[in-house]
Structure 1
Amino acid sequence: MPHLLVDITAHGYGHIAQTAPVVNELARRIPDLRVTVRSAAPPSYLQQRFTCPFHHIPVALDFGMTMFNAVEVDVAHSLANYREYHADWDAKVVQAAQEMRALQPDLLFANVPYLSLAAAQLAQIPAVAMCCLNWADIYRHYAPDDIESRAIHAQMLAAYNGAEVFLKVSPTMPMGGLSKARAIAPIAQVGVEQRSLAQSRCGASEGDKLVLVAMGGIDYRLPIEKWPRLAGVRWLVPHAWNIQRDDTYALEMMGMSFSDVLASCDAVLTKPGYGTFAEAACAGIPVLYVSRGDWPEQPYLIEWLAQHGVCGEVSAAQLHSGELEKSLQQLWQQIQP
């Protein structure tokens, strides 16, 4: 029975959204495939995305960047964390290689923790990396150009270049430092449009517009309690926000997958992130997004979405005040490409 080890960063949900469709298809083609998933992501979310049986090992294999919230990077703490993380890098790789050998995988599929790839190289386990970004390039964007930072970046890049191949999922950062990169098409779990069911579940009238509020896997609660009511608009929001308004409904109470809810809406309010951008574009759902500042992946996501979907930007101030009616109307007047 072939054993696939799947290591996924828990920095947001986009990495899982990319990885799960690939693993699900592999399991369909290889019925006796044994899948082990290592990730610090919530088990409930993994179960939503992976349709094949899998064994979950809850472990954080990287931290990406330390965040104040979904759109703001805590640069100082991130750089300090990387200095600490790499202080005993060689010992970390040895320990990780021992743990990987104990699992006895036939292949590592990583999105995109570089410690796993370095461990696989040391353990002589074949490895494939896949993502629209890598943490070496993200780190280099924020780090100072000094000897210590260059050494950390070199260790990260060496780990990525130790993979058999790095599959660059479109839309992607350039990632010019990768020696074995191969560009591939977008990956998305495209939902099934069930608009009538979605309207019924959330108590919307037939003519109401459904707007999904999906800020990703890193906390970014919006003050919807203070927003003005928009006639004919029903907001679908995270249950954890505990919004007590009759023009909102908890996403988790819909009894539908995230992808199906997204495909059944009139718009999604989000921040630039791979999973929601790709799924919205493939389902033909307009996107309102708030900028992530100088996050280096952002320009490539927005450029791609503007070419393949309908989108518009709103400010952080608009998200705070709820003054979104004009932006939504402009969004709905655009023509799908």
Structure 2
Amino acid sequence: MRDTNLSLTFMETRPTIYIAITNHGFGHATRTASLAAKIQQLCPDILLIMVTTAPRWLLESYIEGDFIYRPRAFDLGVIQSDSLTMDKVATLEKLQQIRKQERSIIASEVNFIRQNRVNLILADIPPLAVAIAHAAGIPCYMSSNFGWDFIYRDWGGEFVEFADWMGKHYAQCDRLFRLPFHEPMSAFPNITDVGLTGGSPRHAIDTLRSNWGISTPPEKTILLTFGGLGLQQIPFENLQLFPDWQFLTFDVTAPNLPNLIKITDQKLRPVDFMPLCGRVISKPGYGTFAEAVGVGIPIVTLTREDFAEAKFLVDGIANYSYHQILNTEEFFQSHWEFLHQPPQPPRQSQPIAKDGNEAIAQAVLEAVSRKS
């Protein structure tokens, strides 16, 4: 009944939420799109403005209703050639450029926000979103398991100055929804811890099996997913060592192999195929980890020594999921013997909360209701 009342409250003045997504890979876009979808589900009258450089088709795979797509970037995350290879020099140059353009970026978005009568910004997790919101006279809520200040500070050197700059913006955030597998995020003054976010499977298993010709049992069906940037030099030759297994990938550049199915339908997502699989092989990433834990599928992950968030992510799945943690040598230079080994059980006996989408959506709608 509460959700219906929220919807009715907004009938005369349509609420509008400006959702700003960090310009880094696909993970931030998909996890935030899942939140947007929940907000839209609870309040169909709401107008969503999705502000991101991620492709529209990716957002549409999570958000079934209408939204405004505004391709803008207020940060860059890390410039990478693939999901593991970072270019710190190019990242630093781009950070310098964004900081020089800070005032013009803010001014441009403030005009847009006022013209469209936006009520609130929800961001994951570009620092300038806070300044944009407050210059426009509206609150800024954020959701994430890490801040970019944390990533850059760990790199040291010239990146520390940018970490301090970002931390000052984060310190003005009205409310942070801190996702699981998180770093302390100490720059934020008002923190609410929530459960896992992300998408849920929405297709019948038998239909997917039939449409994609998947006949192997789950224990011999493996999902390979390395985010929107993919992963160069995956040792696909190892798949020939498992001729009676089936591997699935969303990488359209992968080689054509008899036991590798390339999923090319942009309406389908990795989470849709997870119930068919016995394991998902990935790199550290909140979106994939959260969806896999939500489905209950074991996770095989590479480690990342040069990305500070990775430790918290890997510890998270070790605590709450059946898992296998590989170093790069075990993945790139072995014959994937790990597939013949059982995953390790989670260290924690109590399951993790999975209500993050609902909790954040309700809080956002209540805030917009007060603002309206």
Q: TM-score higher than 0.5 here? A: yes
> 1:289-335 CA deviation, whole Å, 9 max, x = no partner?
112222111111111111111111233344435621x2112235x45
The farther-off stretch of 256-265 and 32-41 is 256-265
Partner residue in 2 for 1:293: 305
> 1:245-266 CA deviation, whole Å, 9 max, x = no partner?
1111112359744322122211
Once the two structures are TM-superposed, the CA of residue 272 in structure 1 deviates from its matched residue by: 0.6
The farther-off stretch of 235-244 and 263-272 is 235-244
Partner residue in 1 for 2:31: 18
The farther-off stretch of 12-21 and 42-51 is 12-21
Q: Pick from 170, 177, 180: which aligns with 1:160? A: 170
Q: Is the 8 A contact 2:57 2:267 kept in 1?
A: no
Q: Verify: 1:217 aligned to 2:220, yes or no.
A: no
Q: Verify: 1:30 aligned to 2:43, yes or no.
A: yes
Q: Is the 8 A contact 2:173 2:188 kept in 1?
A: no
Instruction: Write the distance in 1 (CA, Å) between the matches of 2:285 and 2:217.
Output: 29
Rate the CA distance shift 1:180–1:271 in 2: closer, same or farther, 3 A.
same
Q: Pick from 183, 188, 199: which aligns with 1:189? A: 199
Bigger RCO of structures 1 and 2 (CA < 8 A, at least 6 apart):
2
Partner residue in 1 for 2:145: 132
Unaligned runs of at least 5 residues, structure 1: none
Instruction: Write the distance in 2 (CA, Å) between the matches of 1:24 and 1:166.
Output: 19
Instruction: Write the distance in 1 (CA, Å) between the matches of 2:265 and 2:169.
Output: 42
The structure richer in strand per residue is: 1
Partner residue in 2 for 1:226: 237
Partner residue in 1 for 2:187: 177
Q: Verify: 1:235 aligned to 2:222, yes or no.
A: no
Query: What amino acid is aligned across from residue 339 of structure 2 in structure 1?
Result: L
Q: Verify: 1:112 aligned to 2:125, yes or no.
A: yes
Q: Pick from 108, 113, 123: which aligns with 1:100? A: 113
- SS of 2:252's partner is helix
Rate the CA distance shift 1:49–1:207 in 2: closer, same or farther, 3 A.
closer
Q: Pick from 231, 244, 263: which aligns with 1:251? A: 263
Q: Pick from 58, 64, 70: which aligns with 2:71? A: 58
Query: What amino acid is aligned across from residue 82 of structure 1 in structure 2?
Result: L
Query: What amino acid is aligned across from residue 199 of structure 2 in structure 1?
Result: Q
Q: Is the 8 A contact 1:191 1:261 kept in 2?
A: yes
Instruction: Write the distance in 1 (CA, Å) between the matches of 2:29 and 2:265.
Output: 22
Count the aligned residue pairs: 332
Instruction: Write the distance in 2 (CA, Å) between the matches of 1:17 and 1:307.
Output: 23
- SS of 1:53's partner is coil
Rate the CA distance shift 1:33–1:100 in 2: closer, same or farther, 3 A.
same
- SS of 1:331's partner is coil
Once the two structures are TM-superposed, the CA of residue 2 in structure 1 deviates from its matched residue by: 0.7
Instruction: Write the distance in 1 (CA, Å) between the matches of 2:267 and 2:47.
Output: 29
Instruction: Write the distance in 1 (CA, Å) between the matches of 2:40 and 2:234.
Output: 42
The farther-off stretch of 115-124 and 224-233 is 224-233
Partner residue in 2 for 1:266: 278
Q: Verify: 1:2 aligned to 2:15, yes or no.
A: yes
Instruction: Write the distance in 1 (CA, Å) between the matches of 2:192 and 2:177.
Output: 5
Q: How does 1:298-309 map to 2 (within 5 A)?
A: 298-309=310-321
Q: Verify: 1:276 aligned to 2:288, yes or no.
A: yes
Rate the CA distance shift 1:138–1:213 in 2: closer, same or farther, 3 A.
same
Rate the CA distance shift 1:295–1:53 in 2: closer, same or farther, 3 A.
same
Instruction: Write the distance in 2 (CA, Å) between the matches of 1:201 and 1:321.
Output: 34
CA RMSD of aligned residues (A): 2.4
Q: Is the 8 A contact 1:272 1:301 kept in 2?
A: yes
Q: Is the 8 A contact 1:170 1:186 kept in 2?
A: yes
Instruction: Write the distance in 1 (CA, Å) between the matches of 2:144 and 2:137.
Output: 22
> 1:68-105 CA deviation, whole Å, 9 max, x = no partner?
32113222222232223223434443333334333321
Query: What amino acid is aligned across from residue 260 of structure 1 in structure 2?
Result: D
Once the two structures are TM-superposed, the CA of residue 110 in structure 1 deviates from its matched residue by: 0.8
Once the two structures are TM-superposed, the CA of residue 239 in structure 1 deviates from its matched residue by: 4.6
Once the two structures are TM-superposed, the CA of residue 224 in structure 1 deviates from its matched residue by: 4.7
- SS of 2:227's partner is coil
Q: Is the 8 A contact 1:4 1:107 kept in 2?
A: yes
Once the two structures are TM-superposed, the CA of residue 218 in structure 1 deviates from its matched residue by: 1.6
Percentage identity across paired residues of the two chains: 21
Rate the CA distance shift 1:220–1:248 in 2: closer, same or farther, 3 A.
same
